[in-house]
A and B are shown apart, each in its own frame.
Chain A
Amino acid sequence: MSERRRCRLKAGTSDDLVDAVLVEELTKDDLLKAHLDWAPVRIEALRRLYDAKVRWPEHWHWDWSKKADMLDLLAYRCMGIECEGQTQGLLMVSTIAGKSRLVEQLGKAVLYIEFVESAPWNLRDLVERPKFLGVGVALLEAAIEFSTTEGFGGRIGLHSLPQSEPFYRRYMTDLGPDAGHSEGLRYFEMSADQMRYFLEGRK
């Protein structure tokens, strides 16, 4: 299994495709480095939004350095996309299979996505001109591939923050608010058909 694979992102300014690297298993150090890299940019952007009286993104408080300890356990895996020497996005998944809630694949193993985030300089909510586009989609693709490797058939599921719901509705089935979730977030899952359609679109 290759630990570093080539993937592609779009340059935010020119729409040109650029080569990036998907790192399939990050260490705690990698997360700490990414946090140190992201934090100043995030704080500066939040300050601008505050001054402009614009609402902050719902995940503004995420701190990947605090999630790093999860990697002490086999139950979690973190992947990242690297480009131009910086981490452009992070993905944390649970390696303990979830159970599918979609009728057509009810009860089958699903890879659950705990957290997914693009670097602050790639977020339209935070910067006027994102540096790179397509980070979230590339990370979803990485999750599908990992799900396949794990024997979960490429099935993935997640709870979405309200601001990200439109993004996930493009690729996944919205199964509505989850009464069992601590924040009552909506649960999304990707079916096998949706996965094939998604991967076709990535070719």
Chain B
Amino acid sequence: MPILIDANTKVICQGITGSYGGQHAKGCFLYGTKLVGGVTPGKGGQKFAIDDHASVPVFDTVAQAVRETGATATMIFVPPAGAADAILEAADAGLRVICAITEGVPVNDMIKARAVLDDLNAARPESDRITLVGPNCPGVITPGPKSGTGDKSSDPYTKSGCKIGIMPGYIHTHLSESKLGKSVGIVSRSGTLTYEAVWQTSNLGLAQSTCVGIGGDPIRGLNHTDCIRLFESDPATDAILMIGEIGGTDEILAAEYVKKHVKKPVAAFIAGRTAPPGKRMGHAGAIIGGTEDTADAKIAALKAASVEVAMSPADMGQAVMRAMRVAVSA
């Protein structure tokens, strides 16, 4: 069982009638995701066509969509002004996995939405909690073995995978297709850099259990540590690759967590070692952020936690291999 989502996860798309929402709802369906419907207020009752042979129903509200389809997960393409509201609507309707793809959500909106989710979760047992991924993220994928072209609804790319997001499906590898018979769980703040990492691990003969793009915004749902904790207890994950970048202290906290709690091999890459400082940070922010924001500080913390750090982005896949060899010989 991989983390967060699997082949049985039923998914809806909020903002399915928008151009990106529509394009990626199709992409997920053709990958093989059980995409069961979409939501656009005012367009309830319409059908969203995947192609000439398949369509999914559109609902006015998420509550309605959940009632009619039994969905447990959503991907959100609602524009920034309404994205936080869409997250709260999904939570209110009882969805468990909320992937907010939308880029450009105001930080103050996310502070409020995240606080409401935290309050909801505090009152629930762990098994019943809501997981927010993103916003400003590529989403989550649990790859399945390739069984079709993925070109039309009658011939999906896989029959036992789940893709909730905008990542290209074909770069991923399922365990049954992996030469080395090992799966890596990948967590990343970046979209395209995640694809790069997936591609490298696939080309080395590794599979991916689940890949989570947690997003690049300062206030978000899942963080690195949350994902690493899930991967550590996931029997389908043999090794963990974490991709971070400059800014914030998420990677430092993750390094501390790895040091204390993680037995599986862990590799990492931190982007932005050569980025010029001070482009985004104001004075008061620097007080709180401190010097832990730099790539070098993060790399040092990860190395201190015995994480195998790739110094080049071309070396992410090899870093996973080294981490696994070290684990075997230890």
- A interacts with B: no
| A binding-site residues for B, Cβ under 8 Å | none
| B binding-site residues for A, Cβ under 8 Å | none
